[in-house]
Structure 1
């Protein structure tokens, strides 16, 4: 009988761990194998090495492209491609079935930005004096004001200072800024307004008596530091309470980018604040509600009214 993909998945994970890959990388690669296996079984096929062939993989990727964002499809493609390459290296396969198979190129779908009414409902959902309410409002306002990635949000620490009293990490409420550790461990400043500062201040006061208050992590749960998955769950829950279907942190980032450009912000400044090194991301995030910005710009110009 052909080897089961689930068994080979475990061996692949051990190989990645021996190579020093991060737990996150191992998890993401593993998801591609698991999701492909689940898809095979849903088709009434066995999730074995015999079914890991070019036609099956191509069909799976095509279905993914129909219902997922382009970035998700490419992530799944890379994970399975890496797995197939390892199978060839380990003599489990004679040839990589994905060798000449390119990932689908679905058109990016602009993410809808959050309206003022939705944001008001979201803040109302966090309107309370319990620890979770204080924390969740601070989270929502930071995401909205700073356009943080969820990983950056969770990497935030309490204020940390050097021996001269200068902030070197975490939140600075007086200056309305925070030092963020972004992709590639690059540090950059982000800035927020008075209401966000007030929300964080309220949360920090509630945080003092928390059982995990000794931790450096800014945001805490009953189990310790808030994880990325935990942050996504809190955002989704508060969105549901506010009547916003399937709210996720990246929607705040798109809203923030849209608002920045609508307010006349420069693209080069947005790129710096967002921590992007490529114009591709600027174009992707700028696509959300781009027509609304174009209309507003045209109406401001009113060239015909000047002659």
Structure 2
């Protein structure tokens, strides 16, 4: 993911912008991914904007992050929950924790204003998976005789066949694909690389696309996925837009890359696959994620067991 950090930072008052620019330099020095940096800086910018908009509450905090109090953070979280969601508010809380912890480490603050602020509680929802019939409908919208159709089929099969994140598929470069071993090298979060295998159908789709790609005017680019027109690559935002269009054409609602990731974890757990192996394949370092992603599979297994046991039905 590429973004203009300075443009985002410059939206803030001068004192906020100065601290955010220094923080971003520290994040880059620590080799934080661009996506992480963007989310961190966006959360701080949104807090600053909130305090500035509601200046009658805390005018000083809207100009200087060192003036932010516990009450300011709590008001911001309430606003996030009411205007977005508890899940979004939790993500902002975690990002702001990083910013104010950095200010403490830099000895700009003695104590973070988030030190005694509780995290928003996120409701646990069963993430809707995407069935094989739905994936097949989406694939049927791809005319593999065209460049865009061949490219999009390969992208969709990579999501469905490997359970990768949107950023991981979008960031693939041509040399990350090994067609002799049928593997892809994903560059995961936190600079963690992993190599995964893909199946025969995905391999054929990739081969078809790569042959067409070799004739593209931007074939010299290192990025695997190229835009249909011009000499540019297809960004993660471009892939999101493509999936939205394909979903609408296939009459599949709310189509996005993460649904295949949830489906992959669902099917893995439903088949009795090992959790440790799933963590390796999907690039997780915490066992919290398999529990979260596998919740729908656990619910389905429980329903199957309930139907099989027929408890209370023989009276």
Q: Same fold (TM over 0.5)?
A: yes
* Aligned with 1:35 (options 46, 50, 54): 46
Q: Distance in 1 between matches of 2:145 and 2:76?
A: 48
Offset from partner CA, 1:30-59 (integer Å, 9 cap, x none): 211233345457768688544544334213
Aligned to 1:241: 249
Deviation at 1:178, TM superposition (A): 1.9
CA contact (8 A) 1:260 1:270 kept: yes
* Aligned with 1:11 (options 18, 21, 31): 18
Offset from partner CA, 1:162-215 (integer Å, 9 cap, x none): xxxxxxxx2233543223232333332322222211211111111011222112
SS at match of 2:169: helix
CA contact (8 A) 1:110 1:289 kept: no
Segments of structure 2 that go 5 or more residues without pairing to the other structure are 1-10, 63-67
Offset from partner CA, 1:229-287 (integer Å, 9 cap, x none): 33333223322333333322211100111122223323232222112222111101101
Q: Distance in 2 between matches of 1:75 and 1:143?
A: 24
Q: Distance in 1 between matches of 2:152 and 2:59?
A: 44
- Go from structure 1 to structure 2 and tell me whether the alpha carbon gap of 1:24 and 1:114 turns closer, same or farther (over 3 Å shift): closer
CA contact (8 A) 2:141 2:246 kept: yes
What's the TM-score, normalizing by structure 2?
0.77
SS at match of 2:124: coil
- Go from structure 1 to structure 2 and tell me whether the alpha carbon gap of 1:189 and 1:209 turns closer, same or farther (over 3 Å shift): same
* Aligned with 1:261 (options 263, 269, 281): 269
Correspondence list, 1:111-190, <5 A: 111-159=127-175, 170-190=176-196
* Aligned with 2:201 (options 173, 195, 198): 195
Q: Distance in 1 between matches of 2:250 and 2:56?
A: 42
SS at match of 1:225: coil
Deviation at 1:298, TM superposition (A): 5.8
Aligned to 1:286: 294
Deviation at 1:138, TM superposition (A): 0.8
Deviation at 1:145, TM superposition (A): 0.6
Question: For the aligned residues, what is the CA RMSD?
Answer: 3.3
Offset from partner CA, 1:89-138 (integer Å, 9 cap, x none): 88987864323112212133221001233212211232353222211111
SS at match of 2:219: coil
